[in-house]
Structure 1
Amino acid sequence: MGGHLGDILKAPRGQEPRLVAGGVCLALPVPDQPKLHPLLVIEFSQESSIIHGMRFSADEMLGKLARWLRLAGVDVAYRREISDADLVAEARRDNRILLTRDTRLIRTLKPEEFLFITKDRMEEQFSEFRERFGDALGEARSLSRCAECNAPLLPLPKAQVVDRVWPYVFASQSAFTGCPSCGKIYWRATHVEKILRRLERLRANP
């Protein structure tokens, strides 16, 4: 990731996390070139990281909000270039609440099926989400999801990444996680604290 959230690549859809005893991921895809992103929550457990709580979808106008909600640990489906009809159908099929700025779209939805976002700035949009769905934020664990894949990150044994990270990273880091959807490997880097501080402000700001 090199310190830039936007450098995270899109992930293939329709893949589910796979676990074995102890929360170790099975059959992570091995890419031709390592997908390396220095982002990791060191304190990680299977029980606390995968939240079976409220689920959301975001329309194409809310990509930045979706990314930061995912960084906060909230389950938010998001993809560009999807029709309104498909967006609504997928949200209903997957029992997701739709986050949207589309005034035409909300005319087709029941009040309990959506949150209409009125603000332009991501920080204010996050605040609107928090005001209505504070419980979802309270349950979610920061940095437990892939920011664009939305899949829960899973702990990886260090031996499993020996040929998939740079040698200096392997030598200097003791803990790694991986995304079961796109195969990226994550570890803790200096910019993680900056992200966590911003998430703390987003969670706390009135």
Structure 2
Amino acid sequence: MDSPSSASSLTRPTLFLDVMLGKLTTYLRMCGYDTAYALDRDVEDDDQILELAQVERRTLITRDELLSERAENGILLTSLDVIEQLRELDARGFDLSLSEPSRCSSCNGKLIRDDGESPEHAPNGKQIWRCQDCRKQFWKGSHWKSVERTLSDL
């Protein structure tokens, strides 16, 4: 696969992560990547994972060496640790920075600004985004700042 940084930000790769990479999925979604996750699709079988990644034209990211070799467009990660996995992707040219929230970290749906009523537990004055699919609300709170620190330390 070509380095993701060789393409413009408008043509970021769409991704499919296997069952071993659930934590990484959240980070990539928060960085704005369209990231499908096998367990979100109730898929664990390698053949089904490969088929979905191919049909949806997604880059498969996996820790499974055999699965990676079978993938038409795959990336093999070697680390068990999510921070080290992020470092591996950073070394491959992935843009791992936060901007405006654009993907739901729970379901991968697109986020839109929510100018309606803020939830009671959201801090006053915080911009709220709502997932178009699962309707979950997001704002830049303590979790956002924690992820931002983690990514800046890569």
Q: Match of 1:154, SS?
A: strand
Percent identity, please.
Answer: 27
Partner of residue 161, structure 1: 117
Partner of residue 5, structure 2: none
**Equivalent residue in structure 1 for 2:140, among 188, 196, 200:** 188
In 2, the alpha carbon distance for the partners of 1:99 and 1:191 equals 24
In 2, the alpha carbon distance for the partners of 1:174 and 1:190 equals 12
**Larger radius of gyration between Structure 1 and Structure 2:** 1
TM-score by length of 1: 0.60
Checking the alignment, whether the CA contact within 8 Å between 2:60 and 2:68 is kept in structure 1 is no
Partner of residue 109, structure 1: 71
Checking the alignment, whether the CA contact within 8 Å between 1:72 and 1:199 is kept in structure 2 is no
Checking the alignment, whether the CA contact within 8 Å between 2:97 and 2:151 is kept in structure 1 is no
Structure 1 residues 90 and 140, CA, compared in 2 at 3 Å: closer, same or farther? farther
Structure 1 residues 144 and 174, CA, compared in 2 at 3 Å: closer, same or farther? same
Checking the alignment, whether the CA contact within 8 Å between 1:177 and 1:187 is kept in structure 2 is yes
Across the aligned residues of Structure 1 and Structure 2, the Cα RMSD in angstroms comes to 2.5
Partner of residue 129, structure 2: 177
Aligned-residue offset at 1:91: 0.7
In 1, the alpha carbon distance for the partners of 2:11 and 2:113 equals 18
Q: Match of 1:146, SS?
A: coil
Partner of residue 110, structure 2: 152
**Equivalent residue in structure 2 for 1:123, among 71, 74, 83:** 83
Checking the alignment, whether the CA contact within 8 Å between 1:74 and 1:140 is kept in structure 2 is no
Partner of residue 78, structure 1: 37
User: Which residues of 2 match residues 34-53 of structure 1 at below 5 A?
Assistant: 51-53=10-12
Structure 1 residues 133 and 140, CA, compared in 2 at 3 Å: closer, same or farther? farther
Higher relative CO (Cα under 8 Å, sequence separation at least 6) belongs to 1
Which aligned runs of 4 or more in structure 1 are off by greater than 3 angstroms? 138-143
In 1, the alpha carbon distance for the partners of 2:130 and 2:55 equals 28
Q: Match of 2:60, SS?
A: strand
Q: Which runs of 5+ in 2 are unaligned?
A: 1-8
TM-score by length of 2: 0.78
Structure 1 residues 161 and 52, CA, compared in 2 at 3 Å: closer, same or farther? farther
